[in-house]
Amino acid sequence: MRSLPRAFRTDAQTSAVKPTGTFATTLSRLWRNPTASFGAALLVLLAGSAVLAPLLALHDPLALVPAERLRAPSHAHLFGTDMLGRDLYARVLHGGRLSLTVGILTAVICSLIGLAIGLVAGFSRLADALIMRVMDGIMAIPGILLAIALATIVGGGVSTIVLAIAVPEIPVVVRVVRGVVLTLREQTYVEAARSLGTRPGRILIRHILPNSLAPLVVQATYICGLAILIEAYLSFLGAGIPPEFPSWGNIMAEGRGFVLIAEWIILIPGAFVAATVLALNLLGDALRDMLDPRTRRTL
Partner 1 sequence: MTAGSAPILAIEALETRVRVGQASFPAVDGVSLSLHHGESLAIVGESGCGKSMLALSVMGLLEPRVARIVSGRVLFDGADLARLPERRLRAIRGRDISMIFQEPMSSLNPVLTVGRQVAEVVRQHEGLSPRAAWERAVEMLALVQIPDPRSRAGEFPHQLSGGMRQRVLIAIALACAPRVLLADEPTTALDVTVQAQILDLILSLQERLSMALVLITHDLAVVAETVSRVIVMYAGRKIEEAATTALFARPAHPYTKGLLGSLPSRARADGTRRLTAIRGVVPPLSALRRGCLFASRCPHAVDRCRVEAPELAPIETGHVVACWRAGELWGR
- How many whole angstroms separate alpha carbon 36 and alpha carbon 127? 38
- Nearer Cβ to partner 1, position 86 or 207? 207
Q: Are 66 and 84 in contact (CB under 8 A)?
A: yes
Task: Give the count of residues interacting with partner 1 (CB under 8 A).
Answer: 24
User: Which one among 7, 126, 133, 197 touches partner 1, defined by CB under 8 A?
Assistant: 197
Nearer to partner 1, 34 or 200 (CB): 200
Question: In the bound complex, what is the minimum distance in angstroms from residue 125's beta carbon to partner 1?
Answer: 9
One of 28, 206, 256, 261 touching partner 1 (CB under 8 A): 206
CA distances from 135 to 12, 152, 213 (A): 48, 24, 21
What angle is formed at CA 71 by the lines to CA 65 and CA 72, rounded to 5 degrees?
150
Nearest to 148 by CA among 245, 218, 233, 88: 233
H helices of the chain, in order, are 11-17, 23-32, 34-51, 53-56, 88-123, 125-139, 143-154, 158-184, 188-195, 200-202, 209-237, 248-255, 264-291, 293-296
Single out the residue of 1, 24, 196, 260 in contact with partner 1 (rule: CB under 8 A): 196
185 touching partner 1, by CB under 8 A? no
Nearest distance from residue 224's CB to partner 1, in Å?
24
Q: Which of 188, 260, 294, 298 binds partner 1 (CB under 8 A)?
A: 188
In this complex, which beta carbon is closest to partner 1, that of residue 11 or of residue 244? 11
Q: Which residues pair with 81 in a beta bridge?
A: 87
- Interacting residue with partner 1 among 159, 199, 259, 292 (CB under 8 A): 199
Q: Which residues bind partner 1 (CB under 8 A)?
A: 11-12, 15, 19-21, 187-189, 191-199, 202, 206-207, 210-211, 293
